[in-house]
Amino acid sequence: MITPTSGNDGHGWHIPPAEDDAQQIDWRDPQDREQNPRELRWTCERHPTVYTLVAGGGLLHIRRDQREGDDVISAETERMPYAQAERVWTALMTGKAI
């Protein structure tokens, strides 16, 4: 079951490189639909790409923020039920999805 992570802001998981046969995640333009989104888990902000698992409206999605110089390019997944989001998040965190 997905629960909020313990740890400090800015310091999260370090994920391995994606495997050669990694599942391709369908990244979309951000929708900002939730009134009170809650960040449950995140990866280390010291890396150029940061992933965040976000809850809101009874669903979850994953946000990807890619830093390129002074710019941040954001994308996110579709909204998913918790069980589906947990599978996608776990695949991303273990290099089985990108």
What digits encode the pLDDT tens for the residues 42-53? 999 888 999 999
Element (H, E) at 85: helix 82-93
The DSSP letter of residue 80 is B
What digits encode the pLDDT tens for the residues 48-97? 999 999 999 999 999 999 999 899 999 999 999 999 999 999 999 999 99
Element (H, E) at 9: none
85: which 2 tokens?
A: 């989001």
- Amino acid at position 90, single letter: T
Q: What are the extents of the domains in the chain?
A: 14-98
- Which of 3-7, 35-39, 58-62, 86-90 shows the lowest per-residue confidence on average (mean pLDDT)? 3-7
User: Which pLDDT value is given to residue 10?
Assistant: 56
pTM (2 d.p.): 0.86
